[in-house]
Each structure stands twice: as structure tokens, then as C-alpha cells.
Amino acid sequence: MDGRPVIRQLPQALINRIAAGEVVERPASVVKELIENAIDAGATQITIDIEEGGRKLIRIVDDGRGIAPDQLPLAFAPHATSKLTDDADLLSIRTMGFRGEALASIGSVSRCRIVTRTNDGDAAFGMDNTGGEVTGPTPAAGNVGTTVEVRDLFFNVPARRKFLKATGTESSYVTETVLKLALANPSVGFRYSRDGKVAHDLPPGVDRLLAGWPKEFRDQHLAVDRRDQDYHLHGIVGLPELAAPHMRYQYLFVAGRPVKDRHMIHALREAFRGLCEPGRHPAAVLMLNLPPGAVDVNVHPQKLEVRFRESNRVHALVMSSVKQALLGANLAPKLKPKVEEPEPPRENVRETLAAFFKQDLQQQTRLENVQPVETTEVAAPPAVPPSQGDGSSNGESREEVDPALPIRGAIQLHNSYLVTQTDDGMVIIDQHALHERIIFEDLLQRIRRGNLESQHLLMPLTFDADGRQLEVLETLRPMLLRLGIDAEAFGPDAVAVRSFPSFLHKLDPVDFLQQLLQRDESELEKADDETVLHEVLDMMSCKAAVKAGDPLTPEEITALLARRDLVSRSSNCPHGRPTTLRLSLTDLERQFKRTGF
Ligand code: ADP
Ligand code: MG
């Protein structure tokens, strides 16, 4: 009958393009497949170049064993692999690739060229795959090893190409991929450049475990190394203070593959329980190696999932080895003053943050049309007058005034610490941490009351920003507006700031926004609204607070200490570090060996 659909075999090129979607989601997935191939080929040095976040060019050069000319046509053929010969192999996979579809898929959605030479070959050969159309091999110039160039990814799948994010975002996915593979393969050198600029140059071996963390974390890690029969866990964990509200410093590997395994994540969190604020994620790079039969890595090739035969054993191993590392470390100072216990995060912090998003913009921000205030030098500690009419009205109980701390004159040491006498001993206060805490609480109260006065700048302030930063700004803009920050894209590569909270008049708006937008990778894009708000408030407090090293006048010291007991949770700064160390007379007597007489 007319109009009845006919069942047809799809052309192979179309099948490949559909299959490609399984393997190739974005430039980072191409980079992953190609680096894995290079590692499987025994490369000792891998060079990765990308342009425009990988959408224009991805080039991976390796010094591995190369592909013999007669094998080369097979490399681009679907389901052709040198890595899997029978079913039994599926259970004991040791190489990275095993489906034999990466190159075929990549070639079907890009202009891809392979140039390769084996160490016994006297010439290199090149082969092209342009959207599934394969030509070659033909003799070419090249060193021993393989170069794969992928240009114009998704040029023939416009829907897919449109789906790609801004250059900066795609680059950051690629960076994450490169770092994970570099962490898992410390004996291979990696050199990674974005648009001609070297982003990471990682020689084999040296300090590879630290490659995924910011440089300043270097000295703040503990080694983890433990075996349980044929299971082996090794790596590093960051000191508790490195725990972050995001998971970017957490790299977990099983059998050399990056994973997001809930058993390992949970065990790690348990090991840090009580040492860092709940809701923060410990920094860790952990490698779990176990016999091939103990783990199924084939659950989903793209999804970072694995299935353990004995997940409890994995959990126990991770938790106990990390705990042991933390216990072995001298986390506590020699003289043991009482560090005021971190209180659990109050429900109402989260509630306040959540409520913020439900309030009406109108009542939130009050725009004041005033001139920008000159930034003054040292912050007079209470950046704001003590707030009134807050807590009690919504049923929150204010922290009781600390009876042990009527101020009896404090002295400042090293322009960083305030030392004062209490009824039963003395306290040492970290001036920055305390001030930060005070400002954070003030911000919360302001949000709760819904009055964040904003100051309109007569002349907008502008600064340069890249595409990814503009994208982040776009996402954050509604929240920032409600916090009194009016900043938006100003042309294709700049940001204009039009107003800024009057409360934060001591901050440089440009400096603040630049730092906010520079928070790299997808940190701010992936987090939920409340986490991002918490982060922004943290940043405001940290930047507005007096710094370690700032000299304070006696009046400033008194003002700062006077605020201490007005603020809830003042014994910890927003990052969960203590603000106050307490030494009782008994502690002192014990130290001076006066006891027992
Ligand atoms: P798989 O890695 O799953 O086998 P691919 O499509 O990624 O499938 O690669 C197909 C084959 O091409 C591989 O099995 C390997 O023999 C060869 N090959 C790919 N990349 C390289 C490389 N960089 N060096 C040497 N051989 C390679
Ligand atoms: Mg492969």
C-alpha cells in the first residue's frame, strides 16, 4: 500500500555517524580516546594541542610503536581493534581501548588524519578519514610513533556542533581529561597546549600525583599507601583545610581509570568526618589497584562507573588507609590548647541561602544612586555596624555571649594574632579568620532581612574577560544582581560593572569579579545555586576581612573583639578553620609543671 514505511538497511556511513555519538560527545572525549590509544601503543611522551577548545583542532603526537602500513586501513574500520581477540579477554581487560570504534567514530564526524611510523619501518604513512570517507594510506613524512589530527569536529553534524559549549568550557573539559590521564600514567610525559600556549608540561614521574591540584597545595598533603592482600591503594590526601565545596581536587582511579565511585567517595568523606566542615570535599588523589576479576570496568565505557565484586572491602580499605594517614600526621600543634569545637553547620545557614532564591527581587536590592566611595586602606574591623533586629525575629537563638571573654585589652602579635586574657586563662585569635566569620554572618543577616544596598557607579568599571568567563557571568548574573552586583558582558571580551554592594565598599569591584570568574573549570557551573551563593559570600567575607599582617589600632582591636560574641559560630571561620585557640590556666600550669605541688 502506498505510504507504508519501508524497512531499509541504513547506509554504513550513517550507522557509523550514529555510533559516533556513543563515543564522541565533545572534544574532551576525542582527546580521551586518542591519549588512551597512545598509552596503549607504549608511548613515553604524548603531546596534546588543541585550538578553540578542540572544535577547530585536536592534535595528539606520541612516540609509541606506530601502526604498520598494512594495518593502517583497519585502524579506521569500525570494530577493528588489535586489543581484544576473544571473549575471555573481555574479563581481563588491561588496555584502555577495547571496542575498536574510536577512530572510526571520530573519523566519521571530523576531518581526521593519521600519520604513523613503526620503528622498523623506513617511512611514515598517512591516512585520512573525512566524515567517513577514507583515503590512503600514502607515504608521508613523520617520526616513529603516531600523530592523529582531528579538525573541525562535527563539521557534518551541525546539531552536534551547535550543542558544544563556549571555547573556555570545552577547553576546561579537555584539561580535566588530560590531567586525569596524566595522573593515572605517571611514567608517561605529557605536554598540553591550548591555542599555542603550554598549559601543562609534565615530565615523567616527578611529583605527578600533585599535577591536579593548585601549586600552593604542594606542601599540604599526606601520603596514602596500603595493601590488603591483592588490593593496593596509594596516593595522597590534602590536609583537612584543603577540603573544598566542590569535588575538583578529588581524583579517584580504579585500575588506572578515572572513576566516580560512590563507595570510594563515601569512604573518603567518612575518614575526614569531624576534621572538615560537612559539605566540603576532601582533596585526594587515590589509586586503587586490584586483580582484574575483582572489578568490572565495562559497566559503561563513558560513565566512569565500575562495579566491585567486594565493595565493602574497597570501602574499608579506603577509609582505614586515609584515616591512618590523617592520624599519623601531626595535625595538632605541640602545645595542645583547646581548639573550640566546630559546631555543626546550622540548619538556618542553608535555610537562609535557600530562602534567598525565593525572595522577590524588588525587596531584595535597594539601589542607591551615589558616587563610588574611595577604597580606604586598612579595613576598620567591623565593616558594618552590629546588625539589629535579625535572629530573634525568626526564631533563631543567638549564640550566648561568651562569659569568659570580657575584653581586658588585647595585644596584637605579628600583625596577625590577637591575644587576650579570659577569666580562666587566655585566648589567641586569628584576626583574619574571626573578621571573615563576622562579615559572613553579617552578610547572611542582610540576606535574611533582604536589604543589600547597592551603590551605582557613575562610571562603569570594565575589565577583559574570555568567552568562558562571560558564560559563567551570564549564569551568575541573576544572583549577583540580587546581591547588589550589576555586572554584564560589555562587547565580546569585556565585562562592565555598574553597581556594587555599598556594604563592600572596601573591595575593588573589578578585582572581586575577576577572581570570581577566574575560578576555573566548571566549578561554578556545576554547583547548585545555594553552593554558589555560599561560595560568593565566602569570597566576599574573605576579601573584605582584615588580613594576616594588617596592623590594627587598639580601637580596631577592641571593635573586632567586641563583635566576637555577637556572632554565631565565631569560633570557626567560614572555611571551618578555628578562629580561636584557648589555653586555660590549668593548661598553662601543666605546661610549666606547676601541677602536683
Ligand atoms: P581500540 O583502541 O578500541 O582498539 P581504536 O579505534 O581506538 O580502537 O583504534 C583502533 C586500532 O588502531 C587500535 O587497536 C590500534 O591497533 C591502532 N591504533 C590506534 N591509535 C594508535 C596509536 N596512537 N599508536 C598505535 N596504534 C594505534
Ligand atoms: Mg582506542
Model confidence over 134-161: pLDDT tens digits?
998 999 999 999 999 999 999 998 888 9
Collapsed DSSP state (helix, strand, coil) of residue 462: strand
CA of residue 75 to ligand 1 center, whole Å: 6
Q: Which ligand has the shortest distance to the CA of 99?
A: 1
Q: Tell me the range of 3-7, 284-288, 332-336, 522-526 where mean pLDDT is highest.
A: 284-288
Greater confidence (63 vs 477) lies with 63
CA of residue 198 to ligand 2 center, whole Å: 25
Phi, psi at residue 315, to the nearest 5°? -60, -50
Mean pLDDT confidence for 389-396: 36
CB of 97 shorter than 6 A to ligand 1: yes
Q: Decide if pLDDT at 31 tops 60.
A: yes
**pLDDT score at 107:** 94
Closest CA to 436 of 555, 561, 574, 596: 574
- Residue-wise pLDDT for 272-298, tens only, equals 887 777 778 999 999 999 998 898 876
- pTM over cut 0.85: no
- Residue whose C-alpha cell reads 555598574 in the numeric block: 498
**pLDDT score at 446:** 83
**pLDDT score at 78:** 78
- Residue-wise pLDDT for 87-123, tens only, equals 555 445 445 554 678 899 999 999 999 999 999 988 9
pLDDT band at 360 (very low <50, low <70, confident <90, very high): low
> What is the DSSP pairing of strand 250-254 with strand 284-289?
parallel
Query: Distance (Å, rounded) from C-alpha 75 to C-alpha 80?
Result: 6
CB of 41 shorter than 6 A to ligand 1: yes
- Residue-wise pLDDT for 399-422, tens only, equals 334 444 465 578 899 988 989 887
Q: Decide if pLDDT at 185 tops 70.
A: yes
| Whether 419 contacts 410, CB under 8 Å | yes
**pLDDT score at 128:** 97
**pLDDT score at 368:** 43
Residue 7 has, within 13 A of its CA and on its CB side, a CA count of 0
CA of residue 473 to ligand 2 center, whole Å: 37
CA of residue 84 to ligand 2 center, whole Å: 11
Query: Distance (Å, rounded) from C-alpha 415 to C-alpha 485?
Result: 32
Query: Distance (Å, rounded) from C-alpha 75 to C-alpha 127?
Result: 10
**Non-local CB neighbours of 512 within 8 Å, separated by 6+ positions:** 500, 504, 539, 540, 543
**Non-local CB neighbours of 298 within 8 Å, separated by 6+ positions:** 90, 93
Angle between helices 167-184 and 27-40 (to 10 degrees): 20
Which residue is closest in CA terms to ligand 1's atom 12?
75
CB of 103 shorter than 6 A to ligand 1: yes
Tell me the sheet residues that pair with 463. 495
Which residue is closest in CA terms to ligand 1's atom 23?
38
Our separate counts of H helices and E strands in the chain read 18, 24
**pLDDT score at 219:** 84
**pLDDT score at 338:** 55
Kind plus residue range of the DSSP H or E element containing 87: helix 87-91
Mean pLDDT confidence for 169-191: 94
Given the CA of residue 105, which atom of ligand 1 is nearest to it? 6
> What Rg value do the Cα atoms of the chain yield, rounded?
29
Mean pLDDT confidence for 316-333: 80
